[in-house]
Structure 1
Amino acid sequence: MKDDHALRRWSRVLVAVLAGCALLAGVAACGSNSSTSTSASTSAATSAGTSASTTATAPAESGDASQTANNRPVKKASGTPIKTMTITSLDSQGPVYPNISITAKAYEQWINNHGGIAGAPLQVTVCDEHGKPTDASACARQAVQDKVVAVVGSFSFLGTNIMPALEKAQIPVFGECCPITPPQWTSDISFPMGTQPLYGVGLVKRAVEDGCKNINAVIIDGAQGFLPPMENAMKAYGMKFGKTVILPPTAQDQSPQVAEATGGGADCVIMIVSETPYIAWNQAWVQSGTKARMYGPQGNLDNVSIKGLGNALDGNIIGGMYPDLATTPWAVYRQALKDANADPNQDYNSLGGMGTWAAYTGFTQIAEAIPGAPQSINAKTYLAQAAKTTNLDTKGMVPVIDFTKPWTENPPFKRLFNRTVVFSTIKDGKVVPLTTEFEDVSDLALGKKPSQ
């Protein structure tokens, strides 16, 4: 039976923490850089040497890039462009996401070299909202003025500032990895493809299935909204966290928190922590000599935060929304990044990078399904086509999505169409794929044990 009280509590807590969303950083759109970018461009983000870059994850090599998602021919697009916008933060005192901008422009280049969208070229505008509400609203107004077909593959903490103008103009917001504001969870113009904030539930699922008996949780301060569905999942298994540690986002030495999290006989620790504090955490974790296993989020427990620690973290588990970048679904993405001379210092094995590529892949499929495309493609026709799409198939980037079936069991999050997780692990000091099958966590998030 649905626990309405738990659902209301989950919704209230998530909304309450939005005021502190800047603390989430990579928790929400993994692979961010929290330092200021001074040279990221809103029009050409594919050149090397972006000053915001601090990560170092080169595109993987495996997979057959000669086979595109739709076996598209090498052919130049021509005609009137189809306009989209991608909104994120590039030049800001807070978290920045150059990997989103780079990916959006790389997709533009790739699709235009492979026949375009129904033969027409794609024209992507990347709008930098600078982490400021006024600039986020300005991006939305620019999208309306430019008559874009959709806002695609974006991430911003400022959805409440972005959505009103788009809702009034009925411009779809498509494919986001990480919707984190109420309008993105409920608006009929919102079509997210990611699973935010449910991958914490997936971490619980994996830990229990791995045989963990004494599980603690570590949540970075500001991300407490992830906790209620995780607690629901523990309850579904007849368990509860031994203790929950709230991690200060600015602490340099995490040794006291590591000692607390691994105390009480904990055999496993589930982490909702962003990338920058994870670096200090991992160093303290290794120094502690604990035998407990960590379960952390994609793009945060990553090759950046484990760098320099050798194989000390081997065997720890990573849960996320997208299969690892090294897997077959991303072969074209990897090639497109090379073709675009994408900054090799950015982390593309991330929610921001892979989420944006998946979003544009899905956008193209729906646009090309509009009768009379490309001449008939506009915001109105795109919104109508997306709303009746029952089988968006990105060939393994995300599960097949049915946009006609909102999450009716959980009205505050009715627009979360994809509620699955996949896993990676750490081997020989590197993040490697662990699973490629998407595991549904809808029931667990509501406190119901999934059927066997």
Structure 2
Amino acid sequence: MTGRRRLTPLRPFRHLTATAVAGALLTSGCGVLPGSSGGSKEPVTVMTWSPERSPSGSPHAMAGVSAMAKAYARWVNAEGGINGHELRVITCDEGDTLLGAGRCAREAVKQDAVAVVGSYSRHGQAFMAPLEAAGIPYVGGYGASTEEFTSYNSYPVNGGQSALLAGNGKQLAAGCERVSLVRPDSISGDGMPPLLDTSLLESSRPKSLDILAPEEATSYDAQAAQALERTGDGCVTAVLGDRTETFFDSFRRLEPEGSGVRVSSVLGSVGQPLIDRTGGRNSPFEGAYVTGWYPDSNDSRWAAMRRVIRQFAFADNRVDPEDTGVQTTWIAYTVLRAVIEKIDAPQITAGKVSASLNRGTEVDTGGLTPVLRWRFKDMLGSSSYPRIINGRVTFQVVREGRLVADRKGFVDVSETLSDAQSIS
């Protein structure tokens, strides 16, 4: 990444105290950043939102996203800011609701944010229009809403769930004669089979067996029994978000000993925190294939992020370096930093950020993704996913309770994403 600074070792307590005092002065408008040019460059204000305390019955809390953004700001400001600019991060709890997402977007406009960075929300229909009207770019969202891959105002860093499903098909095709897909009985779920099936057909495998599941069920015994009956000794992949755990509880309980069925999912439905919480090597996910966007969390390319979390998250247990939301936020702020350094101006505005991204500013994420840039010719350009620039995924597997690489490097599913529209 252009202009990347070396991480400093953890300072003694008295120095951290002095840094905290300096930070308080900056918040009140006094003092200058260490290493800055005497206040000649204006602060940069951005917003990050996520559901921190979801409403009763909603499981989509992602508090680590906003907490990671705050830790990132503490780090870069301790190092002198981004090219001399103090980074001011405003967070907003969107509560996993349409009203909350819209409220956070309006607050970003009110606070004159130059970008919304590294956020998580499923409600793009509520937040994207206010940002578009104000010209505030949406940089490196998690990929949980369709608008992130269709709006001219969005700059995604991954291919969303669509890329994961296309990649999951490729991963399963290598070793599964037959695949059952357990997915939500919903409009969003209806788009899943074509993505998985396109990859299976490319490898001369039959289409998946489509098993519909209610989104808010507390038991999936019927779907698990159906999957066991229809799959034989093939593979069962479940993409049910937070309910994936519930499905595999039912599946493992009904599965005959020695059945030979392999299980699978995608990151976002299954991740290391879930595996740890459900028993580690004794969890129902042991041996599962999992498709992700980034290298596995044990990969050395995450070392810089882990150091920042250790030194600047201050034991905030919401910031889990193995959480995909936290990882995406780190990558999104890496993009922001590269863009601000490229602009190199006393004042950073939303228009300048968008213009820099549109002109093709390159972002090196240290191998966590391919080099990112958002020129028109870099985008997938399909009618369903026009804003995708990174159609690559990783193959992982759960071994001894840990998600590890199942195949080295990235797998490009860009062509599959385009082809999937023809069978949808």
* TM score, norm. by length of structure 2: 0.82
Q: Distance in 1 between matches of 2:107 and 2:229?
A: 52
Amino acid at match of 2:45: K
Structure 2 counterpart of 1:185: 149
Structure 1 counterpart of 2:50: 88
Provide the secondary structure at the position in 2 that maps to 1:217: strand
Structure 2 counterpart of 1:368: 341
Q: Distance in 2 between matches of 1:314 and 1:138?
A: 41
Amino acid at match of 1:326: N
Amino acid at match of 1:259: A
Question: 1:381 Cα deviation (Å)?
Answer: 1.0
Provide the secondary structure at the position in 1 that maps to 2:131: helix
Q: Distance in 2 between matches of 1:252 and 1:132?
A: 22
Question: 1:190 Cα deviation (Å)?
Answer: 1.0
Structure 2 counterpart of 1:269: 236
Structure 2 counterpart of 1:355: 328
How big is each residue's C-alpha offset from its partner over 1:213-250, in whole Å with a ceiling of 9 and x where there is no partner? 11111113344133322222233333333421122233
Amino acid at match of 1:227: P
Check the 8 A contact 1:87/1:129 in 2, yes or no. yes
Provide the secondary structure at the position in 1 that maps to 2:281: coil
Question: How many residues were matched structurally?
Answer: 377
Provide the secondary structure at the position in 1 that maps to 2:68: helix
Check the 8 A contact 1:233/1:445 in 2, yes or no. no
Q: Distance in 2 between matches of 1:233 and 1:83?
A: 42
Structure 2 counterpart of 1:303: 272
Question: 1:73 Cα deviation (Å)?
Answer: 5.6
Check the 8 A contact 1:68/1:332 in 2, yes or no. no
Provide the secondary structure at the position in 1 that maps to 2:180: strand
Residues 327 and 408 of structure 1, relative CA distance in 2, 3 Å threshold = closer
Q: Distance in 2 between matches of 1:153 and 1:192?
A: 9
Question: 1:186 Cα deviation (Å)?
Answer: 2.5
- Does residue 314 (structure 1) correspond to residue 279 (structure 2)? The answer is no
What is the 5 A alignment of 1:13-412? Answer: 70-72=4-6, 74=8, 76=34, 78=36, 79=39, 80-93=42-55, 94=58, 95-182=60-147, 184-196=148-160, 197-209=162-174, 211-222=175-186, 223-224=188-189, 225-264=191-230, 265-275=232-242, 277-287=243-253, 288=255, 289=257, 290-306=259-275, 307-308=278-279, 310-311=281-282, 313-339=285-311, 340-344=313-317, 347-370=320-343, 372-373=344-345, 375-389=346-360, 391-404=362-375, 405-407=377-379, 409-412=381-384
Amino acid at match of 2:47: M
Check the 8 A contact 2:357/2:373 in 1, yes or no. no
Instruction: Out of 260-269 and 356-365, give the one that drifted further.
Output: 260-269
Provide the secondary structure at the position in 2 that maps to 1:425: strand
Residues 444 and 427 of structure 1, relative CA distance in 2, 3 Å threshold = same
Structure with the larger RCO, 1 or 2 (CA within 8 Å, 6+ apart):
1
How big is each residue's C-alpha offset from its partner over 1:69-116, in whole Å with a ceiling of 9 and x where there is no partner? 924364946533211001222233132210111111111111112231
Percent of matched pairs sharing the same residue: 30
Check the 8 A contact 1:177/1:195 in 2, yes or no. no
Amino acid at match of 1:350: D
- The runs of 5 or more residues in structure 1 that have no matched partner are 1-66
Q: Distance in 1 between matches of 2:185 and 2:179?
A: 19
- Does residue 428 (structure 1) correspond to residue 400 (structure 2)? The answer is yes
Provide the secondary structure at the position in 1 that maps to 2:397: strand
Check the 8 A contact 1:278/1:300 in 2, yes or no. yes
Q: Distance in 1 between matches of 2:384 and 2:333?
A: 26
Q: By percentage of residues, which structure has more helix?
A: 2
Check the 8 A contact 2:52/2:63 in 1, yes or no. yes
Amino acid at match of 1:167: E
Question: 1:68 Cα deviation (Å)?
Answer: 12
Check the 8 A contact 2:150/2:384 in 1, yes or no. yes
Q: Distance in 2 between matches of 1:353 and 1:68?
A: 22
Amino acid at match of 2:219: D
Match of 1:419 among 368, 391, 397: 391
Report runs of 4+ in structure 1 exceeding 4 Å deviation. Answer: none
Question: 1:358 Cα deviation (Å)?
Answer: 0.5
User: How much is the aligned-residue C-alpha RMSD, in angstroms?
Assistant: 2.5
* TM score, norm. by length of structure 1: 0.77
Q: Distance in 1 between matches of 2:318 and 2:354?
A: 36
Determine which structure has more spread, i.e. the larger CA radius of gyration: 2
Provide the secondary structure at the position in 2 that maps to 1:263: helix
Check the 8 A contact 2:117/2:336 in 1, yes or no. yes
